[in-house]
Structure 1
């Protein structure tokens, strides 16, 4: 199954050399966070001068907001150094992506590494010149572990626990599935 991407992104992928930039936008949500943590791999826009912060402004993630005047307003994603390691294709293991992030706030690291309630997340790839157009998106991620020190933290994110499903979930007996046994 192939994913549809914009014509501009397809041209950049096929180009010999390009100045276009693919940007990762990450949203991490947790019940103990007042608002979602929004981080970006791009420092294109100045978000504030005091303190001096850079990032990306995008409407990505606004679909979770209630309809209203701010629905189409780009929200800031704060720049931080990050490395995204895609999941491996090993058999009999849950596919887990790793996101290594430079620490923005030590309180957030403490929250992510010490809580028993897992955070949820989603990752989108956008082009630097079109930050509101999502090229590829992964949603429904669950934080499995957060390891690191106060300089960097490695977040292991995984999809729903497909391997935790009981097998067989139910027996195909006459009592439960009478239509199968005629």
Structure 2
């Protein structure tokens, strides 16, 4: 069941021009990371002074419902493609600021888990659209940018043909 989009966000979708900004919040989790990467496409709030960093404060993904920082990073979010006979894959292209993160994302055999939310800049705690259950399928790029290909967890790995509910396999169903 999908969650309805707020009336304010819906008005911005239909508006010819708007001063409202949609913000992507991305959380990437992996066992090799000390804490999840929390990334934002918006740089309106100052997070720290030394070093000077900007981002978004939001309760999205927070365990204790207190706002946590999402650090601004240059990113481009490419929505899932719609190719036939292939699982839908979304791509996030991010500017690389830390070489250690690139190493973790590109050299591990265990895929990272990710989730993406879209919020409005003036209401960062109200999630308009959310995609969860994503797995990192591929990470490629150089030390300037890295492209993360994300897809649903084994969406197309379901066995075919599926088991049938026959009397021999499921006698309790057929009395």
Q: SS of 1:12's equivalent?
A: helix
Number of equivalenced pairs: 175
Matches within 5 A, 1:55-74: 55-62=55-62, 65=63, 71-74=64-67
Aligned to 1:22: 22
Residue in 2 aligned with 1:111?
A: 104
Q: Which moved more, 1:110-119 or 1:162-171?
A: 162-171
What's the counterpart of residue 9 of structure 1? 9
User: Scaled by the length of structure 2, what TM-score is found?
Assistant: 0.94
Is the partner of 2:131 in helix, strand or coil? strand
Structure 1 stretches lacking a partner, 5+ long: 66-70
Task: From the superposition, tell whether residues 19 and 34 of structure 1 become closer, same or farther in structure 2 (CA, over 3 Å).
Answer: same
* Structure 1 residues 72 and 172: alpha-carbon distance in aligned structure 2, compared to 1, 3 A threshold: closer
RMSD: 1.6
Task: From 66, 76, 83, give the equivalent of 2:76.
Answer: 83
Aligned equivalents of 1:104, 1:175: Cα separation in 2: 59
Find the counterpart in structure 2 of residue 31 from structure 1.
31
**Structure 2 CA distance for aligned equivalents of residues 101 and 32 of structure 1:** 19
Partner Cα separation in structure 2 for residue 162 and residue 135 of structure 1 = 24
User: Structure 2: how far apart are the matches of 1:166 and 1:73?
Assistant: 42
The aligned counterpart of 1:163 is 156
1:68 aligns with: none
| Residue of structure 1 equivalent to 2:147 | 154
The CA deviation at 1:171 is: 4.3
Q: Are residues 109 and 19 of structure 1, via their aligned partners in 2, closer, same or farther at CA, if it must alter by over 3 Å?
A: same
Q: Does 1:125 align with 2:91?
A: no
- Structure 2, unpaired ranges of 5+: none
